[in-house]
C-alpha cells in the first residue's frame, strides 16, 4: 500500500498500533487524525506529543467521537468527516478503539471505497483489508522512553551506564559465587544503604561483621574495584555512584550488559535502558508534580513490546511492610509496572539470592501474573534464560 495523505486512527489505551505506521517512512502520512472518545482524550494527547516529537511538520488533528458504544452516532461522525474532506486521500487504521467503534468506522470507509488497514503488533506487520497481498512489514522502531510517553507517562531520568572492565570482572565473580555469597552480599547491601544517609558516605561495621571472613572477602572485591575503602571497622564509599553500584546496582548493570550483547543476535531487540524513572499518568493537574513515581531497573523493547526487569540482591524471604515478605512486595511492584506500556507489557524479576523461586505461593502468584523469574544459579546463564523466555521465535 502506498503512503496515504491522512491516517484516521482509533485511539485506545494501546498506543503502539497507531504509532508504528506513522513513524515508518514507507507508510508515513502527512496528517494524522486521532478519533477519540471522551474517555480517551488523555491517551490522544500523549499520542500526539510523541508523533509531533518524532515527526516534526506532520499535522495531527483530533476528531471527537460521541458515546463509544453508540453505533449510529459513530457512523454519522465518520461519514460527516469524510464528507468534509471529499478529495483527501484518507486511510483508516482500524486496529484501535472499541470493537463497535472499529466496526462502524470500517463499514463507513468500505462503503466510501476508502482504504482500511490493520496493524498486527505480534509481528510488526500491516494487513490491508480487502486485498490479497501479503502483510507488509513495519520498520519503525520505538525507544523505551517513547513507548512510555506514548502511553501517557512522564519519564524523568534514563541512564545509559558505562561499565568498565574492572566492574564487569567484579560482577562476573559475584555471579560465579551466587550459591555462597548471598548472605555476605546482603550485609554489604545493608551497609551501603546505611551509608546513603551519611554525608561522607561512611558506615561502621559491627564487631561481628568485622570478624566475618565471608564478609571481608566480599568487601575486598568491591575495594579492589575502587568502589570503597576500608580502614579498620569503617567503610567509606568513593562516591554516590559507587555506593549505588555496591547496593545492588551491579546486578542491574549485569542485566543491562547481557541485554546489550543479545541485540546482535536478535534483530527485534531494539532498545535497552537502565534506571528509568517514570510516573503514572503524567503530572498531577493540581500542582504540576509527578504522581506515583516508580523506577524501572532495566527495560527493553523487543518487537516494539515493552519488557521490564526488577533486579533484587536483598534477602526476599525477609519481612516487608505489613504481613508481606519482600518477595511478595517485589511481585506487587512488578504487577503495577506491567500497566505502563499497554496490555502486552511483560515483566521479570531477577533474584540473586534465590528466595523468590523457593516459595510455592510466590511462584504461583508470579505465574498467574505472567511474571518470569530468573533466580539463584540460573543467573549464570542469564542471556540464555532471557532468550528462552522472551526472545525465542514465537515467544
Instruction: Look at residue 151 and tell me if it is in a domain.
Output: no
Q: Which of 244, 262, 289 is the last residue of a domain?
A: 244
Retrieve residue 311's grid coordinates. 533486579
Which residue, 120, 170, 395, 386, is CA-closest to 263?
386
CATH of the domain at 54: 3.40.50.10770
pLDDT at 356: 83
Higher-pLDDT residue of 325, 27: 27
Residue 70 domain boundaries:
6-140
Instruction: Look at residue 202 and tell me if it is in a domain.
Output: yes
Residues 6+ apart with CB under 8 A from 153: 46, 278, 279, 280, 281, 282, 340
pLDDT tens for 125-163 read 999 998 877 788 898 889 999 999 999 998 987 667 778
Alpha-carbon gap, residue 302 to 312, rounded angstroms: 23
Alpha-carbon gap, residue 94 to 9, rounded angstroms: 7
259 and 239, same structural domain?
no
3-class SS at 212?
Answer: coil
Is residue 375 within 8 A of residue 351, CB to CB? The reply is yes
pLDDT tens for 284-338 read 544 555 456 789 999 999 999 999 999 999 888 776 665 567 888 899 999 999 9
128 and 40, same structural domain?
yes
What percentage of the chain reaches a pLDDT higher than 90? 72
261 and 222, same structural domain?
no
Instruction: Look at residue 148 and tell me if it is in a domain.
Output: no
**In the structure, what pLDDT confidence band is assigned to residue 1 with cuts at 50, 70 and 90?**
low
135 and 99, same structural domain?
yes
Give the strand pairing for 90-93 and 59-64. unpaired
Q: Which residue carries 545492588 as its cell?
A: 248
pLDDT score of 268 more than 60:
yes
Alpha-carbon gap, residue 307 to 371, rounded angstroms: 10
Domain count, the chain: 3
The DSSP secondary-structure symbol of 2 reads: P
38 and 67, same structural domain?
yes
Retrieve residue 297's grid coordinates. 531497573
Average pLDDT over residues 270-294: 70
pTM of the model: 0.90
Alpha-carbon gap, residue 365 to 357, rounded angstroms: 11
Instruction: Look at residue 41 and tell me if it is in a domain.
Output: yes
254 and 206, same structural domain?
no
Alpha-carbon gap, residue 221 to 259, rounded angstroms: 24
What percentage of the chain reaches a pLDDT higher than 70? 93
Instruction: Look at residue 88 and tell me if it is in a domain.
Output: yes
Is residue 253 within 8 A of residue 161, CB to CB? The reply is yes
260 and 200, same structural domain?
no
Sign of the dihedral through C-alpha 120, 124, 130, 131: negative
pLDDT score of 199 more than 80:
yes
3-class SS at 64?
Answer: strand
Which residue, 110, 44, 41, 43, is CA-closest to 78?
110
Q: Which of 244, 269, 303 is the last residue of a domain?
A: 244
Which residue, 312, 323, 301, 393, is CA-closest to 355?
312
3-class SS at 16?
Answer: helix
Alpha helix segments (H runs only) across the chain: 16-23, 41-54, 71-84, 99-111, 144-150, 165-176, 182-196, 207-210, 213-224, 240-244, 250-262, 326-337, 355-358, 360-368, 382-386
| Mean predicted lDDT score pLDDT of the chain | 90
Higher-pLDDT residue of 267, 310: 310
296 and 204, same structural domain?
no
Instruction: Look at residue 349 and tell me if it is in a domain.
Output: yes
pLDDT at 286: 47
- The distance between the two most distant Cα atoms of the chain, rounded to a whole number of Å, is 84
195 and 253, same structural domain?
no
CATH of the domain at 221: 1.10.10.680
Is residue 88 within 8 A of residue 61, CB to CB? The reply is no
pLDDT tens for 172-197 read 999 999 888 888 998 999 999 999 99
pLDDT at 324: 67
Neighbours of 219 (CB within 10 A): 24
219 and 257, same structural domain?
no
What angle do the packed helices 213-224 and 182-196 form, to 10 degrees? 60
170 and 277, same structural domain?
no
Average pLDDT over residues 79-96: 97
Average pLDDT over residues 15-27: 94
Strands of the 31-36 sheet, one edge to the other: 59-64, 31-36, 6-10, 90-93, 116-120, 125-128, 136-137
pLDDT at 355: 81
CATH of the domain at 387: 3.40.1350.10
Retrieve residue 290's grid coordinates. 509527578
227 and 263, same structural domain?
no
Instruction: Look at residue 134 and tell me if it is in a domain.
Output: yes
pLDDT tens for 34-52 read 999 999 999 999 999 999 9
Q: Which of 211, 244, 277 is the last residue of a domain?
A: 244
Instruction: Look at residue 152 and tell me if it is in a domain.
Output: no
Amino acid at each position: 500500500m502506498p503512503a496515504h495523505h491522512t491516517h484516521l486512527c482509533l485511539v485506545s489505551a494501546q498506543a503502539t498500533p497507531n504509532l508504528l505506521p506513522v513513524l515508518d517512512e514507507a507508510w508515513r502520512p502527512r496528517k494524522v487524525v486521532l478519533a477519540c472518545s471522551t474517555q480517551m482524550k488523555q491517551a490522544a494527547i500523549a499520542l500526539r506529543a510523541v508523533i509531533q516529537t518524532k515527526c516534526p511538520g506532520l499535522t495531527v488533528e483530533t476528531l471527537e467521537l460521541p458515546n463509544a458504544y453508540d453505533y449510529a452516532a459513530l457512523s454519522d461522525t465518520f461519514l460527516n468527516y469524510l464528507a468534509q474532506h471529499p478529495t483527501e486521500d484518507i486511510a483508516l487504521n482500524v486496529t484501535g478503539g472499541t470493537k463497535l467503534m472499529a466496526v462502524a468506522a470500517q463499514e463507513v470507509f468500505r462503503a466510501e471505497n476508502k482504504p482500511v488497514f490493520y496493524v498486527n503488533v505480534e509481528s510488526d506487520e500491516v494487513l490491508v483489508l480487502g486485498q490479497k497481498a501479503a502483510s507488509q512489514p513495519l520498520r519503525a522502531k520505538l525507544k523505551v522512553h517513547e513507548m512510555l510517553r506514548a502511553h501517557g507517562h512522564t519519564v524523568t531520568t534514563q541512564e545509559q551506564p558505562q561499565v568498565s572492565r574492572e566492574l564487569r570482572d567484579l560482577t562476573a565473580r559475584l555471579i560465579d559465587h551466587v550459591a555462597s555469597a548471598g548472605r555476605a552480599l546482603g550485609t554489604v547491601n545493608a551497609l551501603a544503604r546505611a551509608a546513603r544517609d551519611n554525608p561522607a558516605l561512611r558506615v561502621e561495621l559491627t564487631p561481628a561483621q568485622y570478624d566475618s571472613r565471608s564478609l571481608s572477602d566480599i568487601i575486598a572485591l568491591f575495594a579492589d574495584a575502587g568502589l570503597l575503602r576500608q580502614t579498620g571497622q569503617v567503610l567509606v564509599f568513593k562516591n554516590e555512584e559507587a555506593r549505588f553500584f555496591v547496593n545492588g546496582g551491579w546486578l542491574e548493570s549485569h542485566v543491562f550488559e547481557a541485554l546489550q550483547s543479545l541485540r546482535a543476535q536478535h534483530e527485534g531487540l531494539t532498545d535497552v535502558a537502565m534506571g528509568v524513572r517514570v510516573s503514572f499518568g503524567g503530572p498531577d493537574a493540581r500542582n504540576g508534580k509527578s504522581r506515583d513515581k516508580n523506577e524501572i531497573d532495566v527495560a527493553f523493547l523487543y518487537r516494539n513490546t515493552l519488557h521490564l526487569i526488577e533486579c533484587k540482591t536483598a534477602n526476599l524471604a525477609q519481612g516487608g511492610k505489613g504481613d508481606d515478605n519482600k518477595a511478595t512486595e517485589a511481585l506487587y511492584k512488578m504487577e503495577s509496572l506491567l500497566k505502563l506500556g499497554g496490555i502486552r507489557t511483560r515483566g521479570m524479576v531477577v533474584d540473586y539470592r534465590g528466595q523468590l523461586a523457593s516459595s510455592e505461593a510466590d511462584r504461583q502468584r508470579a505465574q498467574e501474573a505472567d511474571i518470569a523469574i530468573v533466580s539463584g544459579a540460573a543467573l549464570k546463564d542469564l542471556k540464555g534464560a532471557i532468550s528462552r523466555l522472551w526472545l525465542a521465535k514465537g515467544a
